[in-house]
Amino acid sequence: MTSHASPGYDVIVLAGGAARRLGGADKPGLLVGGRPLLDRVLTACADARTTVVVADPRPTVRPVRWAREEPPGGGPLAALGAGLRHVTAAETVVLSADLPFLEPATVAALLTALRAPGPAGSDGALLTDAEGRDQPLVAAYRTAALRRGLTALADAAPPGDPAPLAGLPLRKLTSTLHLTRVPDAVAAFDCDTWDDIATARARIREHGHVLDEWITAAKDELGLDLDVDTGVLLDLARDAAHGVARPAAPLTTFLVGYAAARAGGGPEAVAEAARKATALALRWAAEDDTAADGNPGTSGSSGSSGDSNSSAAPGTSGPEQTSAAPGAEAAPATPGTPQAAPAPGESAPAPDKPAPDAG
């Protein structure tokens, strides 16, 4: 969840606009991917030293400092001036609260561009959108340059004006600054209309985005600041579902998370628990494959069925088998005892009778 930008910058988020093109809706609270727009922005700059949100206070995904412009709704420059009163870092990232695709990497890229050496130096670095238009509310500025520019504008107002910055457009400030431009059409996308909201919600659910979006939303909802290899967990779920049973997939991943927490948490603990569970699922599947192949150790048929007095297999002598083999001479029967049945193809022997007279 970190931006990998070096610490030491502050953030001002402007979230108190009237949202006229949304019919006055509470734009920072509108949900995209299950998360309020304001929370999505706050997540992208979570490693800021101080975060100031210029708006009326509300629940947020992380602690922030609240400020309000005078008069409320006095416009972006008045809001920026109110936020700057709480800033102490040499660099200030200025953001609007309606950026659904802002990422930590975007903030890092802006700060990198601001810090890049140049012949004349830079007062700020801002994003440009798909049409190449400047987006001054997705930018990183040198705090001194912002203060200097706002002071000059306030000094140019009529004497005694209680709100010298109210109603002034941002370009009054940015036109006086030396700026570096960073093209990023996706991160620069903002939500000014209901069509924009619908577009953002649809993009969140596109293949290739939905899992990352869901994991981020779930971590925010559960208060987790943990980077894990989702590919490892998905592979584990697949192996458990295929090697054991489908319901084993969610149950196993839950157990892996629980085991990782007991081991102290962190990506390494998750990876180790997932490795063990994956190995178990593969061993389970291997046993099933062995049984299916009929290898030794599995139960099989016990031979021919029938009662215990069934005849022996052909070519063998059984206890009940008394007939002679074909072509063999039958032993004479003992008088008074029953004779054995003739072998197949032989005629029955004649009954005993007296020998004929010699004469």
pLDDT tens by residue, 190-222: 999 999 999 999 988 875 677 777 777 787 777
Give the pLDDT confidence score for residue 208 in this predicted structure: 62
Three-state secondary structure call for residue 203: helix
Give the pLDDT confidence score for residue 49 in this predicted structure: 96
Buried b (16+ CB within 10 A) or exposed e, 25-62: eebbebebbebbbbbbbbbbbbbbebbbbbbeeeebbe
Listed residue (84, 122, 80, 96) closest to 42, CA to CA: 96
Give the pLDDT confidence score for residue 314 in this predicted structure: 41
Give the pLDDT confidence score for residue 293 in this predicted structure: 64
Expressed in angstroms, the distance from the first to the final Cα of the chain is: 127
Token output for 170: 């941002």
Token output for 131: 């049409």
Query: Rounded distance, CA 12 to CA 261, Å?
Result: 35
- The structure's pTM equals 0.67
Give the pLDDT confidence score for residue 351 in this predicted structure: 44
Give the pLDDT confidence score for residue 353 in this predicted structure: 43
pLDDT tens-place string over residues 242-288: 888 888 888 888 888 888 888 888 888 888 888 899 888 888 888 76
Weakly modelled stretches of the chain, pLDDT under 70? 1-7, 119-121, 207-208, 288-359
